[in-house]
Amino acid sequence: MSTQRTALVTGGNRGIGLAICKDLAERGLHVVLGSRDEANGEAAARPIRAQGGTVRVEQIDVAEPGSITNCYERLAADDVAVDVLVNNAGIYPENDALDATIDQLDRAWTVNTRGPWLLVKAFVPDMIERGYGRVVNMSSGSGSFGEGLDPEHAAYAASKSALNVLTMTLDDALPDESDVKVNSMCPGWVHTRMGGEAAPRTPEEGADTALWLATLPSDGPSGGFFRDRERIPW
């Protein structure tokens, strides 16, 4: 992959998102680190820059359509073309199907599904026009019918299943002749604020499949669901 590629990573200021930003920068990509709080994003970007990485911080709240539009317009105004979109930002509300609150349902859909969908609508048309793009949707085995949906986090499971639907339907909508690929992935149980202290995987281990999908060659897969670089069932 050209070292001039640019990757936008949402939720890039901590956890798996930050690990993805660090590694993509080490691989020579220009990284747009998306963070709801710009100050937190700048703090996360400083060590990457100190190691020689090229990082631009963008304030972006995936729950706010206007925030997504503003981010797109700022990048376009500066002639920054996003070649890789990593939809990493997400929330993990608890409660089963009976106890899930309206707010949890709305927030899970808004952050985990609608936000990535709006980001796809903003950035993928330009990828198609340029003939290259990679979209990585951070999903979860909790949203897999084949592996068993997570009944204790029903709103989360539903929103991640819906994110997988986005992956599948976007893949069908992509022109055959363009080198644009979209895939879902599960990072596994990762030691982050979301995953908790008992989780066995490091953020770097959780990020590995995202890095692979973000830098796929032209003959790589599209429209799939992966963990540890291997396909898993929808």
pLDDT digits (tens, 9 = 90+) for 135-179: 999 999 999 999 989 999 999 999 999 999 999 999 999 999 999
- Note the pLDDT tens digit of each residue in 31-55: 999 999 999 999 999 999 999 999 9
Domains of the chain as residue ranges with CATH: 6-231 (3.40.50.720)
pLDDT at residue 145, rounded to an integer: 96
Q: What sign does the dihedral 18-54-72-80 (CA atoms) show?
A: negative
CA 92-98-104 angle, 5° bins: 35
**72 part of the active site:** no
Q: Residue 11: what are its φ and ψ, rounded to 5°? A: 60, 40
pLDDT at residue 202, rounded to an integer: 85
Mean pLDDT, to the nearest integer, of 184-196? Answer: 73
Catalytic residue among 72, 92, 132, 156: 156
pLDDT at residue 194, rounded to an integer: 64
Q: Confidence band (pLDDT; 50, 70, 90) for 88?
A: very high
Percentage of residues of the chain with pLDDT beyond 90: 90
How far is 16 from 207, CA to CA, in rounded Å?
6
Closest CA to 147 of 156, 138, 157, 155: 157
Specify the DSSP class assigned to residue 201: B
Say whether pLDDT at 200 is over 80.
no
Say whether pLDDT at 66 is over 60.
yes
- In the numeric block, which tokens belong to residue 151? 């009944």
Closest CA to 208 of 31, 27, 3: 27
Q: Confidence band (pLDDT; 50, 70, 90) for 195?
A: low
How far is 177 from 133, CA to CA, in rounded Å?
12
Q: Confidence band (pLDDT; 50, 70, 90) for 1?
A: very low
Higher pLDDT, 7 or 202: 7
Q: Confidence band (pLDDT; 50, 70, 90) for 201?
A: confident
- The answer to whether 55 and 44 have CB atoms below 8 angstroms apart is no
Q: What is the rounded average pLDDT for all residues in the chain?
A: 94
The full DSSP string for 109-168 is: HIIIIIHHHHHHHHHHHHHHHHTEEEEEEE--GGG-TTT---TTBHHHHHHHHHHHHHHH
Q: What sign does the dihedral 187-193-198-201 (CA atoms) show?
A: positive
Dihedral of CA atoms 61, 13, 217, 118 in degrees, nearest 10, equals 0
Helix (H) or strand (E) holding 77: helix 65-77
* Rounded alpha-carbon distances, angstroms, from residue 217 to 179, 181, 212: 9, 10, 9
Say whether pLDDT at 189 is over 60.
no
Q: Decide: residue 110, CB within 10 A, 0-12 exposed, 13-18 middle, 19+ buried.
A: middle
Q: Annotate 156-192 with b (16+ C-beta within 10 A) or e (fewer).
A: bbbbbbbbbebbeebbeebeeeebbbbbbbbbbbbbb
pLDDT at residue 2, rounded to an integer: 46
Report pTM. 0.94
Q: Residue 197: what are its φ and ψ, rounded to 5°? A: -70, -20
pLDDT at residue 78, rounded to an integer: 98
pLDDT at residue 65, rounded to an integer: 98
